[in-house]
């Protein structure tokens, strides 16, 4: 089976990326996803790689993770990336 996110591999730690945008009307999904992913990749540079991606649209940061579909799926999963 695959290794879990966070496990050390030959390329370093494995990370899952989570991003979100609050409004579909005022933001472009692709642009929002791209800049958030770039920031995440810069943050982990030299430490590992992103092996999974989750993204919520139309979810305020005020909502708990359990109220955001992708975040809730990630927080409650036993996913192997």
CA–CA gap between residue 50 and residue 23 (Å, rounded):
25
Taking the complete model, does pTM exceed 0.75, yes or no?
A: no
Structural domain includes residue 21: yes
Cβ–Cβ under 8 Å, residues 65 and 27? no
Beta bridge partners of 70: none
Per the structure, the count of domains in the chain is 1
29 inside domain: yes
pLDDT band at 1 (very low <50, low <70, confident <90, very high): very low
Domain extent at residue 22? 8-75
In a domain, 31, yes or no: yes
Flag whether 3 is in a domain.
Answer: no
Least confident of 6-15, 42-51, 62-71: 6-15
Judge whether 81 lies within some domain. no
The three-class DSSP label of residue 11 is: coil
Q: Is residue 80 part of a domain?
A: no
Q: How many angstroms from the chain centroid is the CA of residue 34? A: 12
Let me know if residue 70 belongs to a domain. Answer: yes
């Amino acid at each position: 089976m695959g290794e879990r996110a966070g496990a050390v591999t030959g390329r370093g730690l494995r990370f899952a990326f989570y991003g979100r945008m609050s409004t579909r009307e005022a933001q472009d999904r692709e642009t929002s996803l791209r800049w958030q992913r770039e920031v995440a990749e810069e943050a982990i540079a030299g430490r590992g790689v992103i092996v999974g991606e989750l993204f919520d649209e139309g979810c305020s940061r005020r909502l708990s993770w359990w109220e955001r579909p992708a975040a809730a799926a990630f927080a409650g999963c036993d996913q192997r990336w």
